Structure 1
């Protein structure tokens, strides 16, 4: 199921969209291209321009509109356009036969082709029709519709009712086409709005093509990013790729400045000039107004594209199997780790230390087996990891007989010190058949205990994606437990205050949104809560400050 997020129900009803197929560019980032989707094309490079449905884009002077998600949408739009701009739409063989027989096809007889094949219009007149069609599709919605309205009125006043009816039908057809696009900008701007979303391994870009204030098309794709690649560099390469074949509009909205923004703007301006379009290309980061609102919608589409990409990758059985086999081969395991566990330590400035353990079977999380641990006292992350692994291995020996698959790998969040601590706990426990590996964050290296060199997995490998996903899941689970603990402590502290009953505690949390926000509130902010006076507010501040000092 494909979808595009927009800002309102009206936009949702009108917006047509597409998701884009996959291809590989030369700079080792995987893009998705939209070559398989239908376009409305006008072959302005021919002597007698032709309007037709196309599925590929070719540099031959043809102008393309789209992409559309369905071919029927292109045909329906083309049928409406031909009733206003009756340009040729037939194949070369059909056109040649009509010229040879001096007899037009059916479209010429019903008024949906000007029949240049038999000389009903001159070459120049037919080209003017094609220019007008392209101009309308580009942006001239209201101007052309208003002009037809004036012509209809003038013809009616002259009692030329046949012409008036023709202008009426043409006006109605163009309105039908215009209503297919959501009005998203009050000003009739031509702008491409680009959204961006990223994770550690991937990024997604989404674009809304707005012409004349209306969304004319959308596209989105995902990229597998290189090691520590700057988002600004990814955005720059994406923009270069988008306008490799298409001339850019004079305005491009982005969520942040791309790398080498000035040079990129000059390059795109040159592309416009080569396409015989005037005006310098300006790359802008909108801060407020309709464009900023639309940028939010486009960014949501990028986030959805990224989420869909990662979800598909995570649930792809072939990819999961390949990931487990790659882990076996690269880590030197006896068998693929059909069940592995990942541990993480989280703390706040050395206090409130907690540990988490998440479990993956067949490359998928098993949330019923997740565990969290309170670490009472530890000098550092290394000692905390030792305590966590020691406690886990005691239970592991008891749980093993009932497991669907035995745990054969424990992944710890950290580098050499953390994995050595985990290996020491494993050795002392006497549990066998379990390997321990650490995943260091900055360079995403895998470390064996007491090893001089890390294991480096390819950045685009399914194995690296799987272990990173497990590490991130363990980190998320640890943070959630830590937040829950602090919330309970803070709520307990409030409940212990004299004169602060459960109702006032709930009123405070309801007013500020969370216990953490209550802790951050000043006395002046606290007295804004119904039932909290100056004295009570001061007691709350003093008590929370004291508990924070103790904690």
Structure 2
């Protein structure tokens, strides 16, 4: 536990200007990012009597080893820089508003000749229009099911669309008039695109115009005595009205607004957002986060707005989405301290004025109270659902500290496992758990250069050497200079002092790769390294760490036979109780490492077997073999493909495709 006074800036060196600051630990990893109207006032508050600080703030300042800052000209610049740094560094002590699940959206692929409607999760893409998010995928399917009666747009995948075009018969949806069947030419590309455009207009809120147009066409058909068409149009209008009725009007004036509400306790906060478009609730999202420091609701509102709408602007910038990233109005439970700067920033994101205010009366106040009740109920459900998990994780980490004799609880644990079949395709995995939870962004996989020579012991040694050699290299590149980072101000002529980060001449940031601009994942070590195996594997890992001079990482092994925990240099293993939370956590980490290694091993084996099966095929070199495997994913799928499907791969002609199928079906291996 560090004493904050050891890195406290010298008196008078912190500027009173607005800016953004960051605390980093002894390994140079950024652990907290914040902004302030006055850097001097804000930073001095962190170095007050430690006993008077909020528990979370106390943990942050005692975990840090240095503080740096950047002076900016305006609060809007500080807001933008804070958002960028939080996104870049992912500081552990900052509140991060991540969805507790991946929300599905309805994607319309306008970049295709015949656009497709589909449920989608993932990054936004150019040429695709998105609607949502929806709480459940079934809600999207139900919406599409109701609307394709009126707007019979294509829903099938590219392969199904092509296959039915080849056989000249539509799918079941085409036979029941839920699809216009462009695959067999019932409508051409322009007619189908008009159907899709009407579908998009309806979901975008232009409901009255579409229903009015259909009713007008119904009257014309009835006047022309085309009663069959008039009846169909009547049913279409009724179907659209039923869809609209399911989305109750909450704001009668057709307002476009996001309504935000919080429910908090001493440790956590739940936030709910209702997206109101055209006066109707079009979507809902929710998060539960740990509160930082001694933040009140106003502080949480400011943090949420900067993070959430920054992400929405990034998504809108990567897709052809007609929906603005920010609505005209944002209703919040309390105005944030820097409300003027946030409102200006939101207006810049939207391109027009955005109103940020607290609802006081009328329908908007009633809706705000509804959203607040949802937030309170979600916090209650979260407490009931997570109480056991939080308690178990804390107990497991504390028990590991006690059983293994560690100085502190192992907040970061890494585990490695080796996978192969009789010495072929030898690979290894490295998985990472932080605070008892998997951090999959930091997972790594290794192809063992030594192959099967030396067995699992040599493979474990190779993985540990490669992982910690990289750690030492990145630590050397990013070693923080504590003599400069502790005090930073401006000289009398306005030039940055030695400790200040000058925005115009910043240089490489600690923990950031200067070539890619991305955070280094292994510039800091784990508290505990777990290897899958017994005494030999543990000894090999400990020996490598000793050779590299890494002395602050504990090593244990978990043997599968009796789930024994082996420590370096010990003749006998430690036996943890079967009901031990610590043992359960080690088992979960070991099993995850095993799963990750097996997955990579199967992938490598499939690649090798594909190359072996296709050796000698005329006109098929390494690049085309790789392209085939990437396109189809496996030998099995490639063997089942048609010649036409194989020729879709760039560079593969019909003669080569026929040769590939002949090689696989005559003697290829699976």
Based on CA coordinates, which of the two structures has the bigger radius of gyration? 1
TM normalised by structure 2 equals 0.41
Where relative contact order (Cα < 8 A, 6+ residues apart) is larger, the structure is 2
TM-score by length of 1: 0.49
